[in-house]
Structure 1
């Protein structure tokens, strides 16, 4: 509920503070007094698109603040959380417009974009009037309005639509992939066969290259290694070292220990020579190779590298390429079977969606009949008993909200062709149609402020009284703010403000005054009789207020 509205330096308003109440709030005043300025200012702070020039002449900036009560569980909480704003029990909008056109907005002290303002306002305020393209007159919103009236849950239809889209997308991707694969099927089969015959293994290129280099090197170094082995064998260093140990041992006793250290060193050297001999023998064994092995190794290495160049990959990437070619070949071989399975899955999803959409359509047709009957009952007291309201449902392209197109149509006279609300009804008729429709669609909705901008234009007398009573009925479940020229409507308000325009020091300003009972009689009398208020007008005003 809108609790308060403060306006500073906007259009003709220099300073204004309004405390709004529950139920039916009425704003009255002469034409041109500035009632629309209030709505323009409220629309500005809520992010609605409207006038470009809003700042009062001579002011550096204009500012509007609006405070709303926010009960727990209100739909605005989801918008706030998405915007990173902690929900509280009140919601304070503040927006500033500088003279050069810059706009800045805050919600509960946190700076926000105009888009956040508009998303929040959609949960808080509804504007209805003869030129309203945000609500009842907009055909694009009629289906959602009918669904709300029907209490329809679209979750199952939307889930079925999402499953249908996913199945269709999967099938399309599979068919596209199979078609692309078939264009290169001959290449894939040849490459898979070629790679399969080659059977490249991870790390094989590096291992083959190392083995090839070792075999090439062994031919050059093996002779020198063999010579080194001969030099330290028994015929060489080993034998001579053994002789030296024997000769020194023969004289060790006579040397009285002086030869013990040399003998020990020679014995260690002999052990080292034996170890070296073993290493040389092992190396000679490892370096021994069959010349045919070198030839085979080179052939394998060169074949792998040639195949890698052919496919534009490195030799290390050949095993992965082979796996990819095998997968593509398998996909080709099983492609038709997969496509058949996916087509069957799509048919199942389409059937499920069709059933959900059909059930929703049946619900909509039932609701349409109920809405048409409710409208007929509402139009009679509004002196439009000969008018016909019809909710038309036609097939449309399937989508997440079903396969129906919904439009509210009217025929103002028997036999006259039916057509869209905005094109068929005259100004006064349109106002009453909108009011009746809103009464039927509101269904006791709470937590929202509804604004009716001169929705009673073109009606008077008993019809105006009926309009007022319908507005009061809506206000029983929601806060209603109505801008009106009808005394019958004004008399039914729970709260009443008068909008006036006057000149102060050669400057035109608009003011809004809350009316007490006495001044309310005067205002309604003015609305009845014009500029000159007669005693009869006062009596009539009093009668309206006490009726």
Structure 2
């Protein structure tokens, strides 16, 4: 619900702060007083075009701030999705700034937002209905949702069936495209799979081969060094043999002097360490020994792996996965029509489910259309539209227009005269008739929710007397369920208001300003009398105003 509207420097309004409450609020004033400026300002706050022409002459910028009570859970979720934080239980503030030199900015709860987001949330905040409004009830694109809401139809099964059908169709299309592409490359695919299967690459194989190759190449390089070391240690002339000979000689003379005994002990230790070194050398030679043919085979294998990887533009470790992928493609190609036939069956089953759910929804819409037509018809006579007829058209859509909302086109149509053909609401020539049709339809749809604030802009234009009274009675009835603001020239409508705002224009000779003030009871009587009699308010007009206020 709209609770406050603050306007600064918009056209003729210098500064204006308005508070709004529940029920029916009426806005009146003489022609040209600036009632449209209020609606323009509200429209600006709700994402309307930020025209610099709205900025009051001499001001740097125009600012409009609209305050609404706590947003619904759905609206709060939408704002959260767009990065706007909303504290639970807190009001919603929408502010729009338009600069005189062009450009505009938007804020929601003092957080920067786009005008696009304002326009997206606007339908959940305020519905504006006027003779030239091309949104809301006059826009056929919203008629299907209005009918579904009126009938409380659950469109969930159709939406889910539609998504299932789309997924099945996508899978079939992908499979057909893959088979078509694979069929063009079948010869290459068969050759590639054959090559890779013959090569049989394994993950990590390249690194293992490269490491083994490095070890064998290193062994070849140190083989000569190992042979030289063995010659120094082994054989009759080797170092170990000479140490053993020295030990035998020392054994004979070691008893002759302590130093000789120590020398014998040192030589014995050297023999032991030398023997250990000899064993380690033998172990290393055994470990480093390799078959030259194995080195050649490893090098050839490594070359094949790397060449194959370059050919397919992948890393050698990815060859095994590539082999499996290409083999799977070839298998799917060979499976061919069998796989396609299965997917076609899935599409057929999903289509049948969708059509069944859509048929159920269509039947519900046709039944609801009859109830809505009857409800609107019941509102036409009091609004002096006795000869008019209203109907809700529920027609099938072409398959290319099917969606998660079903396969129906829904549009509200009217015929204003006996024998005249039905036509869309927007084709009605008379503005007064259109306004009354909108009101009748809105009354019929009133219990179905929507925005918590509705604005009717001069919906009573061109009517008076009993028709204006009927309009006022229906507006008051609507206002019992939602906040309703009405710009009116009709005293019968004005008398129904729970709150009455007077819009007036004043000039000091140099500057003209538009102001708005809430009328007390006595002031309401005088304003309604003015609406009845014109410039000169008569006692008779005041008496008639009293009667209107008493019966409202």
* TM-score tier after normalising by the smaller chain length: over 0.9
1:525 and 2:550 aligned: no
Picking from 436, 441, 444, the partner of 1:440 is: 444
1:247 alignment counterpart? 249
Q: How does 1:265-284 map to 2 (within 5 A)?
A: 265-284=266-285
Alpha-carbon distance between aligned partners in 2 of 1:533 and 1:296, rounded to the nearest angstrom: 116
Q: Secondary structure at the match of 1:533?
A: coil
Query: Secondary structure of the residue that 1:443 maps to in structure 2?
Result: helix
Contact 2:394–2:408, Cα closer than 8 Å, also in 1 = yes
Tell me the residue number matched to 1:333.
Answer: 334
For the 8 Å contact 1:40–1:50, the answer to whether it is kept is no
Q: Cα–Cα, structure 1 residues 479 and 282, in superposed 2: closer, same or farther, change >3 Å?
A: same
Give, in angstroms, the shift of residue 415 of structure 1: 1.0
TM-score, scaled to structure 2: 0.91
The answer on whether the counterparts of 2:432 and 2:461 sit within 8 Å (CA) in structure 1 is: yes
Structure 1: gaps of 5 or more residues:
none
Aligned length: 545
Residues in 1 aligned to 2:198 and 2:409: alpha-carbon distance in whole angstroms: 62
Report if aligned partners of 1:79, 1:119 keep a CA contact under 8 Å in 2: no
1:48 corresponds in structure 2 to: 48
Deviations 1:451-501 (A, max 9, x none): 000011111111111111111110111111101111111111111122122
Whole-angstrom CA distance in 1 between matches of 2:218 and 2:465: 117
- 2:343 is matched with 342
Which position in structure 2 is the counterpart of 1:121?
Answer: 122
Rounded to whole Å, the distance in 2 between the matches of 1:45 and 1:26 is: 20
For the 8 Å contact 2:150–2:448, the answer to whether it is kept is no
| Distance apart, 1:155 and its partner CA | 1.8
Q: Encode CA deviations 1:493-523: one digit per residue, 9 max, x unaligned.
A: 1111221222113211112232222222222
Instruction: Say whether residues 1:509 and 2:508 are aligned partners.
Output: no
Deviation at 1:295, TM superposition (A): 5.2
Task: State the shift of 1:313 in Å.
Answer: 4.5
Structure 2 counterparts to residues 403-482 of structure 1, below 5 A: 403-443=407-447, 445=449, 448-482=452-486
Name the CA distance, whole Å, in 1 between partners of 2:550 and 2:111.
46
Task: Name the CA distance, whole Å, in 2 between partners of 1:519 and 1:221.
Answer: 116
Equivalent residue of 1:492, what SS?
Answer: coil
**SS at 1:136 equivalent:** helix
Tell me the distance in 2 between the aligned counterparts of 1:325 and 1:121. 54
- Structure 1 partner of 2:369: 368
Q: Deviations over 1:50-94 (max 9, x none)?
A: 6541111122222223222227x4543323433223243422333
Residue 199 and residue 474 in structure 1: after superposition, are their counterparts in 2 closer, same or farther (change >3 A)?
Answer: same
- Identify the range of structure 1 (236-245 vs 311-320) with the bigger mean alpha-carbon deviation: 311-320
Q: CA–CA distance in 1 between the matches of 2:110 and 2:362?
A: 45
Answer whether contact 1:521 1:538 (CA < 8 A) is retained: yes
**Aligned match of 2:78:** 79
The more displaced of 337-346 and 183-192 is: 337-346
Q: Which moved more, 1:373-382 or 1:308-317?
A: 308-317
Question: What SS does structure 2 have at the residue aligned with 1:321?
Answer: helix
Tell which deviates more after alignment, 489-498 or 284-293.
284-293
Structure 2: tracts of 5 or more residues without a match: none
8 Å CA contact 1:241–1:266 kept in 2: the answer is yes
Counterpart position of 1:6? 6
How far apart are the structure 1 equivalents of 2:4 and 2:208? 83
Moved more, 303-312 or 375-384: 303-312
Farther-moved stretch of structure 1 (320-329 vs 171-180): 320-329
Matches within 5 A, 1:294-333: 296-297=297-298, 299-313=300-314, 315-333=316-334
Question: Deviation at 1:331?
Answer: 2.7
**Are the aligned partners of 1:139 and 1:408 in contact in 2 as well (CA < 8 Å)?**
yes
Q: Distance in 2 between matches of 1:224 and 1:524?
A: 121
Shifted more, 465-474 versus 188-197: the winner is 188-197
When the two chains are superposed, the root-mean-square deviation of aligned CA atoms in Å is 2.5
Q: Quote the offset at 1:383 in angstroms.
A: 0.9
TM-superposed CA distance for 1:318, in Å, is 3.5
Is contact 1:444-1:474 (8 Å) kept? no
Contact 1:387 1:411 in 2 (8 A): yes
> Which whole-Å CA distance do the structure 2 matches of 1:301 and 1:51 have between them?
72
Q: 1:169 to 1:498 in 2, by over 3 A?
A: same
Give, in angstroms, the shift of residue 364 of structure 1: 0.8
Q: Answer yes or no: is the 8 Å Cα contact 2:98–2:104 preserved in 1.
A: yes
Quote how far apart the aligned CAs of 1:34 are: 0.6
State the secondary structure of the residue aligned to 1:31: coil
**1:21 and 2:46 correspond:** no
Q: Deviations over 1:177-235 (max 9, x none)?
A: 22212221222222222222222334444555565676677677656644542432251
Equivalent residue of 1:458, what SS? coil
Cross-structure match for 1:152: 153
Relative to structure 1, is the Cα distance of residues 211 and 137 closer, same or farther in structure 2, using a 3 angstrom cutoff?
closer
Gap change, CA 1:283 and 1:496, over 3 Å in 2? closer
Whether contact under 8 Å (2:255, 2:261) holds in the other structure is no
Does the 8 A contact of 1:444 with 1:477 survive in 2? no
Q: Does 1:35 align with 2:39?
A: no
TM-superposed deviation, 1:448:
0.7
1:430 CA drift (Å)? 0.4
For the residue of structure 1 that corresponds to 2:16, the secondary structure is strand
**Residue range with higher mean Cα deviation, 224-233 or 281-290:** 281-290
Distance in structure 2 (CA, Å) of the matches to 1:138 and 1:351: 32
**Helix, strand or coil for the counterpart of 2:445?**
helix
